[in-house]
Amino acid sequence: MSLLEQIDKDRLPKHLAVIMDGNGRWAKEKGKLRVFGHQNGVLAVRDTVEGAVQLGIKYLTLYAFSTENWNRPKLEVMALMELLVSTISKETKTLMENGVRLNAIGNLSSLPERCFRQLEEAIEKTSGNTNCTLTLALSYSSRWEITEAAKTIANKVKTGELKTDDITEELFSAHLNTGGMPDPELMIRTSGEHRISNYMLWQIAYSELYFTSKLWPDFRREDLFEAVIDFQKRERRFGMISEQLN
């Protein structure tokens, strides 16, 4: 039985979040510059997106560039931004063919103008697609996101638009960058690291975590399928006991 045949299509995670890690180490193992790893990571993104569409996963969010990544060597950051521009341009056709709507979260105003413009154009072009929403977390930090949501809500209380008693978990969630999206039910991190790295800290409160030692450029849809199979074997209790779920 193939991996795909082992997956119950009625028990898929609606939202899958991924921390793509290991590009630099993959390149270093091959005696190449780090950007070579990022370039090959694009192939992993394409296959993972197409695998998610093949399964019927409705939301896929990829941690593409963190706020902390701005502290990397300037040449690597510049190369990453150029790669992002060229990748979005080249992959828009693939997104259209697969019915994927592009979305982005994070401090997008900090992106270079050319990169931001290319991103906006791709988001607009794919806006009518309905098979899957692919969200890129760019210049993203969960603590920044939570802080910004708190500021927005505080200002609404200050102006009288909201009362403090109006503030609920649901209202707070709606003010996050991911407002309107379901919380991830499964979070995958590659490269053997076992950290969350400031990624969707509020949203993954009840997510199942899946760690693989595979470096991101080597990750393919079969690895995605294995993660989903593992997810479907788990019992998600949300603080209850097994007997309460039956």
- Please give the Cα distance from 92 to 119 (Å, whole number): 10
Annotated catalytic, 183? no
> In a 3-state reduction of DSSP, which class is residue 51?
helix
DSSP 68: G
Identify the active-site residue in 21, 23, 177, 183: 21
From 10, 23, 47, 69, active-site residue: 69
Question: CA-CA-CA-CA torsion for 127, 132, 133, 136, nearest 10 degrees?
Answer: -120
Phi, psi at 116, each rounded to 5°: -65, -40
Contact 118/85 with Cβ under 8 angstroms? Answer: yes
Identify the burial level of 242 via C-beta atoms within 10 angstroms of its C-beta, where 0-12 means exposed, 13-18 middle and 19 or more buried. Answer: exposed
| CA dist., res. 119 & res. 127, Å (int) | 12
Taking each continuous run of H as one helix and of E as one strand, the counts in the chain are 8, 6
Percent helix, strand, coil in the chain, to 5, is 50, 15, 35
Q: Is 47 a catalytic residue?
A: no
The answer to whether 144 touches 107, Cβ cutoff 8 Å, is yes
- Angle subtended by helix axes 34-55 and 74-97, to nearest 10: 20
Ramachandran region of residue 156, left (φ > 0), alpha (ψ -120 to 50) or beta?
A: alpha
> So which residues are the catalytic ones?
21, 69
